[in-house]
Structure 1
Amino acid sequence: MGWLGKVVGGAIGMALGGPVGAVAGAVFGHAFDKDGSELNRDERRELSGNEEAQMTFFVAAFSMLAKLSKADGVVSRDEIESIDQFMTQDLHLNRESRNIAIDIFREAVNSPEPFEGFARQFYATFRNQPRLLEVMLDVMLRVSTADGQFSPQEEELILSAVHLFNYPSEGYLKLKSRYVDQSDTYHSVLGCDRGDSDDFVKKQYRKLVNEYHPDKIAAKGLPDEFTHFAEEKFREIQEAWEHVKKERGMA
């Protein structure tokens, strides 16, 4: 995520608008003042299209998680630990990037910008990448249920994202079952139910393997750290497939 260091160092000008731009401006503007390294505007270049998409992903993701964590009135320790796991184990952020993600989270918690604003801007950037939208919903569910509870306020925000992302309701229910109802986790990971045919399960498995392949994720120009997340999802899919295949007696 080399572009992030350039933003912090002042070598890249901020060109984002909307809620994401407001939070990014507050966070990175503070970094410029703190480091005393802001460059003359004429010496700075603007974000490239790829860098802008990466910035939107980074800021919007942690802003949505901030709003979601505060939805029930209390940001719990379990939720914080779940977000930290997302940063370190899924995205493999280094210390600098992790600290900036924390700053974004803190700024967004107290920001007047609503959750829906961040979700709408996230969708506007990634509307043609449905699996990335699905991953974001998955992370939201993971964080909101980390404390063992899933409040109506939390689900209301996630459902608003489901609507804004144009994500199918049946798909959301399958995602939700991974965290709220663990009775059939492996089938849920594959996007199917226990009652589905073997042929359908195989079809779902092949589709997910193709869409979550780390090489395909990397080719979309997302942060390098996100490819690590794709690799984790890829392994999760493979593990689920092995369990379901064994349970069903499939060759």
Structure 2
Amino acid sequence: MSIWAKITTAISMLAKGEPLAKIFSKLRTPPEKSVAFTIAVIALGAKMAKSDGSVKKEEVKVFRRIFHIPESEVAAAGKVFDLARQDVAGYDVYARRIRKMFGERHQTLLDLMESLFHISLADGEYHPKEDEFLQNVNEIFGFSGRDFLKLKARFVEVEMDPHEILGVEPYSKIKEIKRAYKDKVLECHPDKLIARGMPEEAIKLAQTKLSQINNAYEQLVENL
């Protein structure tokens, strides 16, 4: 059974009118961790898209692309998305649920923060309500204010610096750049993530970051 079929089954367990947040009490066993994570991520993305007062089609498109939702499963994901928008529970419920799954300051939480920034900028604007939303989620995930400002600068205030993405200095030699690139790629490798117990959808999140790493490496090598 696919992850999306499991999600549809999980949603069907909710009583009529029961909020989406109640679903986590029904997904307590380890095999269902991936289902719970995916639902929590979709819900958090829905709350993010709604934080400025409306959900724009550009945000939904970016959401689908980032979270790798296949055409055949759009209906299942859309149902979770809509239930989350209607849920009276605050976004902090979903953020805390995700934090509990991985622990504070986990790499997966950072990947998710990056994805939420992409969604917030899908319509070409960065709304103050979205900024407030992201700051609060950042805090719930255990990251510092400085961590948030550094991440925000990559998306909102300045163009992403390829040196910062790879964690190298502007004067770094090709050998250092290649080593840093290799280390970053290994961090995103599916086998390593699986070994750390990451669910399938969390592994997919890392692929967005891998694309940024590859682009940064290409830019630096071309300019040497």
Residue number in structure 1 paired with 2:76 = 100
Task: Using the TM superposition, give the Cα deviation of residue 169 of structure 1 relative to its aligned residue in structure 2, in angstroms.
Answer: 3.4
Instruction: Name structure 2 gaps, 5 residues minimum.
Output: none
Residue number in structure 1 paired with 2:137 = 161
Residues 6 and 35, structure 2, Cα contact 8 Å, conserved in 1: no
Q: Is residue 2:172 matched to residue 1:198?
A: yes
Task: Using the TM superposition, give the Cα deviation of residue 177 of structure 1 relative to its aligned residue in structure 2, in angstroms.
Answer: 2.9
In structure 2, which of residues 33, 38, 41 is the aligned counterpart of residue 61 of structure 1?
Answer: 41
- State the distance in 2 between where 1:99 and 1:220 align: 31
Larger radius of gyration: 1
Q: Is residue 2:46 matched to residue 1:22?
A: no
Instruction: Name structure 1 gaps, 5 residues minimum.
Output: 29-45
Aligned CA distance change for structure 1 residues 69 and 92 (closer, same or farther; 3 Å): closer
- State the distance in 2 between where 1:62 and 1:6 align: 14
Residues 50 and 221, structure 1, Cα contact 8 Å, conserved in 2: no
Residues 174 and 188, structure 1, Cα contact 8 Å, conserved in 2: no
Q: Which moved more, 1:152-161 or 1:1-10?
A: 1-10
Q: 3-state SS of the aligned residue for 2:159? A: helix
- State the distance in 2 between where 1:78 and 1:132 align: 24
Counterpart of 1:163 in structure 2: which amino acid? Answer: E
Task: Using the TM superposition, give the Cα deviation of residue 128 of structure 1 relative to its aligned residue in structure 2, in angstroms.
Answer: 6.3
Residue number in structure 2 paired with 1:41 = none
Q: 3-state SS of the aligned residue for 2:156? A: coil
Q: 3-state SS of the aligned residue for 2:122? A: coil
Residue number in structure 1 paired with 2:61 = 81
Q: Which moved more, 1:164-173 or 1:141-150?
A: 164-173
Residue number in structure 1 paired with 2:5 = 5
Pairwise CA RMSD: 3.2
Task: Using the TM superposition, give the Cα deviation of residue 236 of structure 1 relative to its aligned residue in structure 2, in angstroms.
Answer: 2.7
Aligned CA distance change for structure 1 residues 129 and 170 (closer, same or farther; 3 Å): closer
Residue number in structure 2 paired with 1:142 = 118
Residues 217 and 227, structure 1, Cα contact 8 Å, conserved in 2: yes
Task: Using the TM superposition, give the Cα deviation of residue 85 of structure 1 relative to its aligned residue in structure 2, in angstroms.
Answer: 1.4
Q: 3-state SS of the aligned residue for 2:149? A: helix
Q: 3-state SS of the aligned residue for 1:73? A: coil
Residue number in structure 2 paired with 1:208 = 184
- State the distance in 1 between where 2:164 and 2:59 align: 23
Q: Percent identity?
A: 25
Runs ≥4 residues deviating over 6 A: 199-203
Residue number in structure 2 paired with 1:120 = 96
TM-score using structure 2 length: 0.79
Aligned CA distance change for structure 1 residues 238 and 62 (closer, same or farther; 3 Å): same
